[in-house]
Amino acid sequence: MEILKRVAVKSLIVILPAAAASAFIDWKKLPVSIIAGGIFGILNLRAIVRNVEGLVGSDKAVVKMVFMSMVRIFILFAAIFLLIWLKIVNIMWLLAGFTVVLVFILVEGVKAGRAA
C-alpha cells in the first residue's frame, strides 16, 4: 500500500502540470485525456493491490486472481472505450497519462526490489 501512495503522489505531480500545460494547445480534450489516463492508471494499480492483498493465504487464489483481473481489465477497457466513443478524450493523450503512472510503478518497483 505504501508503493501505491508514492506512485499516486508522484504521478499527480507530473500529470496535473502536464494537463495544465496542454490546455494551451487544446483546452477541451487534452487536459481531460491526460487526467483520465492518470486516474485510470492509479485506479488500476489500486485494484491490483487490493486483489493481491485480499487473496494472500486464501484457497484457490490463482482462480480468484485470474477472475478479478479479467473483471478489472473489462471495466477499464469499457470505461476507456466509452470515453473515446463519446469523443470526450484523445486516445494518445489518455495513453500518455496512463504511461506516466506505469513509469512510476516501474520506478517504485525497482526501488522496492533493491531495498529487499
Mean per-residue pLDDT, 25-45: 89
pTM: 0.83
**Residues 33-67: b if buried by 16+ CB within 10 A, e if exposed:** bbbbbbbbbbbbbebbeebeeebeeeeeeeeebee
pLDDT band, very low/low/confident/very high, at 59 (cuts 50, 70, 90)? low
| Number of domains the chain is built from | 1
Closest CA to 89 of 21, 40, 42, 24: 40
> What 8-state DSSP symbol labels residue 5?
H
Q: What pLDDT score was predicted for residue 58?
A: 65
End-to-end C-alpha distance for the chain, whole angstroms: 16
Residue 57 lies in a domain: yes
- What is the distance between the alpha carbons of residues 31 and 3, in angstroms, rounded to a whole number? 26
| Contact residues for 8 (Cβ-Cβ < 8 A; gap 6+) | 42, 45
Residue 8 lies in a domain: no
Domain range holding 93?
Answer: 26-108
pLDDT band, very low/low/confident/very high, at 3 (cuts 50, 70, 90)? confident
Residue 46 lies in a domain: yes
Residue 37 lies in a domain: yes
Q: What pLDDT score was predicted for residue 57?
A: 67
Mean per-residue pLDDT, 34-60: 84
Q: Say yes or no to pLDDT of 69 above 90.
A: no
| Contact residues for 11 (Cβ-Cβ < 8 A; gap 6+) | 38, 41, 42, 100, 101, 104
Strand (E) positions, the chain? none
Query: pLDDT tens, 96-109?
Result: 999 999 999 999 98
